[in-house]
Structure 1
Amino acid sequence: MLTISQLAAYAGVTVRAVRHYHQVGLLPEPERNASGYRTYGAGDVVLLIRIRTLAEAGVPLARVHELLDATPEELTDAVRQIDGELRAKVRELQDHRRRIAALAAGDTLAVPAAVATYLDKLRASGASDRMVAGERDGWILMAARWPEKIPEFMADKTAQLDDPRTVRLYRLLDELVERGMDEERLNEVADLMAELSQEAADRGDLDNVDLELGDDGFVALVDAFATDAHPMVERLQELMAERGWRGWARMERVDPGTLSS
């Protein structure tokens, strides 16, 4: 007769595994002998090896018991089903690996691929990692609310980066974050933003954005996120108001006289 340690050694498993198989009901637990020890026989070794073989093949422990007593036909059907489940799991793991690799390669966490492409172009234009991270977080919010509009938004944002004035705008914003609030630079940013906004309004782009971003509460949330990110945003909104514009995610043309300072 064998001790639990000998049983485990002969079957090529650990003592802990033997005890676990006892707990889940796969391996019958023998009564203790007069000396208080549990002893095992050759049949237990055979059964344990069969359990180990099925488990190592990827059969879930919950299904091992039914396969131990299965007919050849039942075993074939079960193996085919388990193989399909394992193939699906492999595909899922491969997809996870692709996503992990993509995360390591850029700003793809929680943003659609179109946003990641735009962020790559923004970084290539000279924007700092801090600026790119701020843009990324803002687009995480936008994509959560308007996922179907992201391709259109990103096409427009990517096209804007072909304009040297937009690149200059981001660089000025970077300088404001790095060097602190500077009225001269803030006014240059406001002038650029007003100029670009006016051109967008002349093309009718702002009207389209107004229709697309109809959720005023969520637009306010995005604006508050930007304002909380850095105090310069609030100051820029004041300067934009002097130039007849208000908003942030959704810019609107207004009469400066109707806006409180």
Structure 2
Amino acid sequence: MRNGITIGQAAAFVGVTVKTVRHYHKLGLVEEPERDSSGYRRYGSGELLRLVQVRTLAAAGVPLAGTGPMLDADAARFGAGLADVERQLTERIDELVARRDTLRRLADGDRALLPDRACAVLDRMPGLGFGPDYVAAQREALVLARALVPEGFDGFLTQLEHRLDDPEYVDLTKRGWEAESWEPDDPRIEELATAMADHYLANPAVQGDPAGLRAWAKASAQYKLINTHRQDQAPVAARLTALTEARLRAAGVPMPHR
């Protein structure tokens, strides 16, 4: 009869479960001991040592598939394998830290999805008289713009900053948002669209820089998705925007086509 201990005792001594030991056997990481005359497998010091080595490497982050080759390698290859695992773990740590930071930014509201500069633009709006619904719509539009037209996002932010510095623009925009209470065929909508277009044409800074306009002009599909967001909730604003853009386009401003 072979001296040794049972699989249950071996698992307990090493600090794993019997199921884990059997999994190690299945993967070929630890050879199964021969059965003794009673039909039981008895684990000796050699198997226990290998179990401890596999468990230790696995706990250190070495994938199970890689533990066998590492344990069977010479000292140089073993060291190189450990260095490679350390590099992978460092990358995972960096990724987890980034995820944790994202969670913290989510708890802080907009800052998970938008840069500080965009958040500052949104923070200005309530003080200028814009209501929470308008600010929420602008927040969503900024998130979509950053994701869908990243090359035009900085220019778009600059445009918004100039617009918020322009009292007449702010007044026209607030009137546009208030127009949601009007009937869809109210003639004041076309009058307001004309006033907005005239203001844009008279103040090039609120139109945006040429590079930004070109980026948006090339992104018609993305522009449509952004511009039609919440259209069902603000149909008059959508019509007002379309009329204003048509007038600007007719005047030669490179507006995207919907």
TM-score category, normalised to shorter length: 0.7 to 0.9
Structure 1 residues 45 and 114 mapped into 2: Cα distance closer, same or farther (>3 Å)?
same
Question: Which stretch has the larger CA shift, 15-24 or 123-132?
Answer: 123-132
**What's the counterpart of residue 203 of structure 2?**
203
TM-superposed CA distance for 1:11, in Å, is 0.3
1:230 matched to 2:234? The reply is yes
How big is each residue's C-alpha offset from its partner over 1:163-184, in whole Å with a ceiling of 9 and x where there is no partner? 44555566667767xxx7346x
Q: 2: distance between equivalents of 1:32 and 1:232?
A: 83
Query: How many residues in Structure 1 have an aligned counterpart in Structure 2?
Result: 242
Given that 1:141 and 1:222 are in contact with CA atoms closer than 8 Å, whether structure 2 keeps it comes out as yes
TM-superposed CA distance for 1:50, in Å, is 1.0
Q: 2: distance between equivalents of 1:174 and 1:196?
A: 13
Write out aligned runs for 1:34-73 (5 A): 37-73=40-76
Q: 2: distance between equivalents of 1:120 and 1:23?
A: 60
**What's the counterpart of residue 107 of structure 1?**
110
Return the letter of the residue paired with 1:233.
A
Structure 1 residues 234 and 82 mapped into 2: Cα distance closer, same or farther (>3 Å)?
closer
Q: 2: distance between equivalents of 1:121 and 1:235?
A: 26
Q: 2: distance between equivalents of 1:15 and 1:142?
A: 54
**What's the counterpart of residue 216 of structure 2?**
213
Q: TM-score, normalised by structure 1?
A: 0.72
Query: What is the aligned-residue identity percentage?
Result: 31
Q: 2: distance between equivalents of 1:129 and 1:5?
A: 64
Q: 2: distance between equivalents of 1:172 and 1:19?
A: 73
Structure 1 residues 202 and 163 mapped into 2: Cα distance closer, same or farther (>3 Å)?
closer
1:93 matched to 2:130? The reply is no
Return the letter of the residue paired with 2:227.
D
**What's the counterpart of residue 257 of structure 1?**
none
Q: Report the secondary structure of 2:217's partner residue.
A: coil
Structure 1 residues 235 and 28 mapped into 2: Cα distance closer, same or farther (>3 Å)?
same
Structure 1 residues 58 and 252 mapped into 2: Cα distance closer, same or farther (>3 Å)?
same
Given that 1:114 and 1:150 are in contact with CA atoms closer than 8 Å, whether structure 2 keeps it comes out as no
Q: TM-score, normalised by structure 2?
A: 0.72
How big is each residue's C-alpha offset from its partner over 1:223-259, in whole Å with a ceiling of 9 and x where there is no partner? 333523433334545xx84xxx345xx95467xxxxx
TM-superposed CA distance for 1:113, in Å, is 5.5
**What's the counterpart of residue 17 of structure 1?**
20
Q: Which of 64, 76, 80 is 1:77 aligned to?
A: 80
Structure 1 residues 160 and 218 mapped into 2: Cα distance closer, same or farther (>3 Å)?
same
Give the alignment's Cα RMSD to 1 decimal. Answer: 3.7
**What's the counterpart of residue 181 of structure 1?**
181
TM-superposed CA distance for 1:24, in Å, is 2.3
Q: 1: distance between equivalents of 2:237 and 2:38?
A: 80
Return the letter of the residue paired with 2:199.
E
**What's the counterpart of residue 11 of structure 2?**
8
Given that 1:26 and 1:65 are in contact with CA atoms closer than 8 Å, whether structure 2 keeps it comes out as yes
1:119 matched to 2:137? The reply is no
